Amino acid sequence: MRSPGWRTLGRRRVYRNPWMTVFEDRVRRPDGSAGTYGVVEVGDAVSIVALDRGRVCLVGQYRHSWGKRVWEVPCGGLHKGESPLKAARRELLEEAGMTARRWRGLGCVEANDPIVNRFRLFLATGLAFGRHQRDESEADMVHRMWSLSDFNRAVLNGRICDDMTIACVAKCLMVLGRRL
């Protein structure tokens, strides 16, 4: 919901690919001044916190925009007509080779403005480990189970920096009545 003082005067699509659309909005701010606001629409996605005996599954993959391997929870976009739970099951199997007996939806986590990306968060437990089914863009991906104490240390020392991962794990642990 936008502030009542903000008005969008126009929108121009600047760029589009299969993963995102970039818009440039002409806006009127609450003080009456005009401005330009960039918006990146990524679309709805799922994030999965897979927990097994006090360990959390993270996948590591090279992220071009950061120029390095990034550790993150399994996540991915919804396919057209796909339910969030079906997407979560698919992504966990695809990226980590895991299935889960129990799934719990934990609402949404939203990316920082101006990126419009809503992640439906799922907690997956009762894990069974198998073989991943990664697509060609995930060829360099690896997965690893992290103890929660190792996860905490990695967040504090900057080895894990992905904001969505930190937020998702923190929310899951809060729901479970546990601390990071």
User: Could you tell me which of 179, 159, 156 has the C-alpha nearest to residue 169?
Assistant: 179
3-state DSSP call for residue 136?
helix
161: left (phi over 0), alpha (psi -120 to 50) or beta: alpha
The set of catalytic residues is 138
pLDDT tens sequence across 162-171 = 988 999 999 9
Q: What is the pLDDT of residues 114-123, one digit of tens each?
A: 676 788 999 9
pLDDT in tens, 53-72: 999 999 999 888 889 999 99
CA 68 from centre of chain: 17
Of the candidates 74, 95, 72, 61, the residue with the CA atom closest to the CA atom of residue 161: 72
**What pLDDT shows up at residue 109?**
85
Q: What fold does the segment set 45-175 form as a domain?
A: Nucleoside Triphosphate Pyrophosphohydrolase (3.90.79)
pTM assigned to the model? 0.85
Distance of CA 87 to the CA centre of its chain: 13
The Cα 161–Cα 32 span in angstroms is 37
What pLDDT, on the 0 to 100 scale, is given for residue 131?
78
